[in-house]
């Protein structure tokens, strides 16, 4: 981290019914100290059916924890059964939306082109995309991971201008580190996050790239967060498993202060 404000985002994935989500949000709210918000942006991304209730908890408590969605569709409305539009997220008060998560790419056929359309739709609706990129173990072992991730970044931002991209977030999540307990070392994560920032600089210029946040995700927890967050191009974390326990999540937030 440098002078960029860190962002700690929890990706709850497909966990927590509405009532469970409210309990977890309340625990996070109770433990969140008001002055932290000056130093770190915090966001949780529950399942879409939980968003309104979770947002309600933080609003009621005046806790500066934002909410984000885990997915969105790029069309504004219409016959797209099962999908959710940017406007729907905006009305609920979503500030962020994860797109291109590797689980969506692998299990639900999300493509670079689809991620790009979603990024454009979110930016147009003033919701900050959290664009996930990251290589499989096979690509890492081949040694082509930097090219692979850089290509994902270029594809996600194709046709998007510097001014529009400035508030977007990129999350580097090596697939081999997700849910495996095998975290990338701070040096491994920094190498790729620096390459992502260099790619953003090619696309949008140095100044915009220096202001954009690049997160690391993949088995990040309260034990390893501080070392990862100390790296110059890692501006926060996208946390899966450890975001489902308030104490762990809040400890990661503290590591970013």
Ligand X SMILES: O=C(CO)COP(=O)(O)O
Q: Pick the binder of ligand X from 100, 114, 174, 218 (CB under 6 A).
A: 218
Using an 8 Å Cβ cutoff, are 32 and 63 in contact?
yes
Q: Which one of the listed residues 101, 103, 135, 222 is annotated catalytic?
A: 101
Per DSSP, which regions of 3-112 are E strands? 7-11, 41-45, 66-69, 96-99
Respond yes or no: is residue 173 known to be catalytic. yes
Q: Does 173 bind ligand X (CB under 6 A)?
A: yes
Contact 52, 22 (CB under 8 A): no
Of 89 and 220, which has the nearer Cβ to ligand X? 220
Instruction: Enumerate the known binding-site residues for substrate.
Output: 11-13, 179, 219, 240-241
6 belongs to the binding site for ligand X (CB under 6 A): no
Cα–Cα distance between 222 and 2 in angstroms, integer?
21
CA–CA separation, 247 vs 174, rounded Å?
A: 25
103 as an active site residue: the answer is no
Contact present, 15 and 243 (Cβ < 8 Å) = no
CB of 194 to ligand X, least distance (A): 20
Q: Tell the smallest beta-carbon distance from residue 225 to ligand X (Å).
A: 11
Should residue 241 be labelled a site residue for ligand X when binding is judged by CB under 6 A? yes
Maximal CA-CA distance, the chain: 50
Catalytic residue ranges: 101, 173
Interface residues with ligand X (CB under 6 A) are 11, 101, 173, 178-179, 217-220, 238-242
């Amino acid at each position: 981290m440098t002078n960029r404000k860190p962002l700690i985002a929890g990706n709850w994935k497909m966990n927590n019914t509405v009532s469970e989500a409210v309990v977890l949000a309340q625990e996070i709210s109770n433990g969140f100290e008001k002055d932290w918000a000056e130093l770190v942006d915090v966001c949780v991304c529950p399942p879409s059916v939980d968003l309104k209730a979770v947002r309600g908890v933080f609003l009621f408590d005046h806790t500066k924890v934002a909410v984000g969605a885990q997915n969105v569709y790029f069309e504004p409305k219409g016959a797209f059964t099962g999908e959710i539009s940017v406007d729907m997220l905006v009305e609920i008060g979503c500030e962020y939306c994860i797109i291109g998560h590797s689980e969506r790419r692998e299990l639900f056929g999300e493509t670079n082109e689809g991620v790009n359309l979603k990024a454009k739709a979110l930016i147009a609706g003033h919701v900050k995309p959290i664009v996930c990129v990251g290589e499989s173990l096979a690509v890492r072992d081949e040694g082509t991971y930097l090219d692979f991730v850089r290509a994902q970044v270029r594809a996600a931002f194709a046709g998007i201008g510097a001014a529009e991209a400035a508030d977007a977030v990129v999350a580097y999540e090596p697939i081999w580190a997700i849910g495996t307990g095998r975290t990338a070392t701070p040096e491994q994560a920094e190498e790729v996050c620096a390459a992502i920032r260099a790619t953003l600089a090619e696309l949008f210029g140095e100044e915009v790239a220096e202001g954009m946040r690049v997160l690391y995700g993949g088995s990040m927890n309260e034990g390893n967060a501080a070392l990862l967050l100390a790296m110059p191009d890692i501006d926060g974390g996208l946390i899966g498993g450890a975001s489902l326990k308030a104490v762990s999540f809040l400890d990661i937030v503290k590591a970013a202060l």
